[in-house]
Amino acid sequence: MNLATRLAEYFSAAARNRGRSYFWQGRVRIQNGSSTQVVARVRGSHTYQVSLSWHDDVLSGWCDCAYYESNAECKHLWATILAADAGGYLSAAADPHLMVDFDGFDFDEDSELDNEDQPGSRFPLRSPAAAPKPAPEPPAWKKQIGDIADPRVRAGPPAEPWPIKREILYAVDVTASLAASCLILSVGSRDRKADGSWTRVKPLALKHQAVAQLPLAADREILAALGGGLQYWGYLPSSSYSQVPANYAVTHPLAASLMPLACRTGRCYLRSNAEPDALTPLTWEEGPWKFGLEMSRRPGGGWAVSGVLHRGEERMDLATPALVTQGGLVITHGLVAPLAEDARFEWMAHLRQTGPIKAPEKDKDQLLATLLCAPGLPPLEVPEDLAYEEVILSPRPCLRVRSGDRYLDNGGRLRAELSFDYEGRLVREHEPIRGFYETENRRFLARDSAAEQAAIRLLGELGLKVRAWTYNDVRPA
């Protein structure tokens, strides 16, 4: 059970709702976090300092806002608790064996507890038993793979999946275009009903981070390019008073469209921080680089997992390019080329920063098994003596219906959990595992993603609604 669930009863619904909004809006910045302490700054009408600390079996919380002076259940504290859960901090205080115990402060029933003298006394927690011995540290290589694949390292929650029955519409507003003397394009969306007709068109509600996840490439390109326009208010601001910015953040997929045009002008350069005045002319190259992993023996013994880039017969070490951008470009030796759309950038960024993943000889089978089962694994090449057979198993869908949490599920609505049975191995719908590796048979049993998606679509057609992602979906390890 995570920390927020344990502490929800100590906060009013209003404090939880407002704190949740602060968390989702990215207003919490954790400055220091561990299994026993979190120090954060929360941006509201002012920036507030918040701290949570687990010490001597007691969890204490504090905020320097005026509301906390009279009531410890402030929204900034709740937002920090949600951020701590999402980041995997304060795991000691969220231990499932802990219980709520107001005796933790050793006060009598008739005595009063002063909030100013005892910050955080609204929700003390105590452990009924001695703390368990810490688990042994995993091998360094295993921690590296876990850090890459762990959803808690992502910046913010993942984008919600695009509804299967929804489509985007683009409409030229003739009246507004005539008034503005330029093209005014309206963007909306509509959903197909069960009888085949469409709902009314409504303005498109989509966050910037979700544009790159849209299923159609045309929509991704159009909306990314439109992001550089101005919102139309019935008039256009005068260009006489608007200055062109000196620096732009050009994101994918717009960068892949603009860089070929910039290079073809003959006036596009690469400038390094080491020599700001040294400009290297850039030339555009067609043909995308593809990213993959290579597992190989190290000269001094043991094994290494390295990143490589491939393009036809060409091969380049991942450390060679001067710059690799997310979802877009590879820049090296005065050349700019596209990066394949399916390149796993989280693996590329980690390996470019830390170098190859290394493991001793005795861990080679466990290293291979961990890699093969890791979510989002790029194409992997292994030496012939480690060759394995990959088999796709057919799953048996399993649906479990249970009552929901009264704090997290709109008053306790029924919740359905989908899982898949692979020959006795049960995995949940969103469990981040690619399959199962049998070392003795040298077989990788892969999950059948097509069959799983078919089951998910069937549930949607039967009327089940997908619950939006919440902080409770990512639990500390």
From the CB of residue 415, how many other CB atoms can be counted at a distance below 10 Å? Answer: 14
Asked whether 141 and 357 are in contact (CB, 8 A), the reply is yes
Out of 174-188, 377-391, 452-466, give the one with best mean pLDDT. Answer: 377-391
Q: What's the pLDDT score for residue 351?
A: 95
From the number of C-beta atoms within 10 Å of its C-beta (0-12, 13-18, 19+), residue 303 rates as buried
pLDDT tens digits for range 47-85: 888 888 887 777 888 888 877 766 656 889 889 988 888
Closest by CA to 119, choosing from 178, 82, 159, 72, is 72
Q: Give CA–CA dist 341/136, Å, rounded.
A: 39
Q: What's the pLDDT score for residue 409?
A: 57
- How confident is residue 257, by pLDDT bands cut at 50, 70 and 90? confident
Sign of the dihedral through C-alpha 398, 403, 408, 410 = positive
In the structure, how many helices (H) and strands (E) does the chain have? 11, 26
Nearest-5° Cα angle at 367, 365 to 373: 100
pLDDT tens digits for range 287-330: 999 999 999 999 989 999 999 999 999 999 999 998 888 768 89
- Final residue of a structural domain among 135, 162, 196: 135
Q: Give CA–CA dist 289/454, Å, rounded.
A: 32
Q: Which of 93-102, 142-151, 382-391, 440-449 has the lowest mean pLDDT?
A: 93-102
- Final residue of a structural domain among 344, 361, 383: 383
From the CB of residue 409, how many other CB atoms can be counted at a distance below 10 Å? Answer: 15
Higher local confidence (pLDDT), 92 or 120: 92
Higher local confidence (pLDDT), 271 or 174: 271
Q: 85 in a domain, yes or no?
A: yes
Q: What's the pLDDT score for residue 451?
A: 95
Above 90 in pLDDT, residue 2?
no
Q: Which of 16-30, 215-229, 237-251 has the lowest mean pLDDT?
A: 237-251
Q: 144 in a domain, yes or no?
A: no
The number of folded domains in the chain is 3
Q: 267 in a domain, yes or no?
A: no
User: Are 376 and 394 in a shared domain?
Assistant: no
Give residues with Cβ within 8 angstroms of 389, minimum separation 6: 441, 442, 443, 444
User: Are 295 and 417 in a shared domain?
Assistant: no
Q: What's the pLDDT score for residue 107?
A: 31
Out of 21-30, 97-106, 459-468, give the one with best mean pLDDT. Answer: 21-30
User: Are 449 and 465 in a shared domain?
Assistant: yes
Higher local confidence (pLDDT), 339 or 402: 339
Above 50 in pLDDT, residue 471?
no
Percent of the chain past pLDDT 70, that is, above it, reads 76
Q: What's the pLDDT score for residue 387?
A: 95
Asked whether 306 and 294 are in contact (CB, 8 A), the reply is yes
- How confident is residue 95, by pLDDT bands cut at 50, 70 and 90? low
User: Are 417 and 457 in a shared domain?
Assistant: yes
User: Are 366 and 405 in a shared domain?
Assistant: no
Q: 168 in a domain, yes or no?
A: no
Q: 187 in a domain, yes or no?
A: no
The whole-chain average pLDDT of the chain stands at 79
Asked whether 443 and 391 are in contact (CB, 8 A), the reply is yes
Q: Which of 140-144, 232-236, 464-468 has the lowest mean pLDDT?
A: 232-236
Q: 268 in a domain, yes or no?
A: no
User: Are 377 and 393 in a shared domain?
Assistant: no
Q: What's the pLDDT score for residue 149?
A: 72
Q: What's the pLDDT score for residue 181?
A: 64
pLDDT tens digits for range 125-149: 444 444 445 667 788 898 888 878 7
Q: What's the pLDDT score for residue 374?
A: 94
User: Are 310 and 422 in a shared domain?
Assistant: no
User: Are 86 and 10 in a shared domain?
Assistant: yes
From the number of C-beta atoms within 10 Å of its C-beta (0-12, 13-18, 19+), residue 475 rates as middle
Higher local confidence (pLDDT), 274 or 400: 400
User: Are 394 and 379 in a shared domain?
Assistant: no
Higher local confidence (pLDDT), 236 or 38: 38
User: Are 369 and 433 in a shared domain?
Assistant: no
- How confident is residue 275, by pLDDT bands cut at 50, 70 and 90? low
Q: 358 in a domain, yes or no?
A: yes
Q: What's the pLDDT score for residue 470?
A: 53
> Pairing state of beta strands 396-403 and 414-422?
antiparallel
Q: Which domain holds residue 365?
A: 290-383
Higher local confidence (pLDDT), 25 or 114: 25
Q: What's the pLDDT score for residue 475?
A: 41
User: Are 314 and 353 in a shared domain?
Assistant: yes
Q: 161 in a domain, yes or no?
A: no
pLDDT tens digits for range 343-384: 999 999 999 999 999 999 999 999 999 999 999 999 999 999
Above 70 in pLDDT, residue 174?
no
- Final residue of a structural domain among 74, 102, 135: 135
Q: What's the pLDDT score for residue 133?
A: 57
Burial readout 315-336 (b: 16 or more C-beta within 10 A, e: otherwise): eeebeebeebbebbbbbbeeeb
Above 70 in pLDDT, residue 180?
yes
User: Are 377 and 434 in a shared domain?
Assistant: no
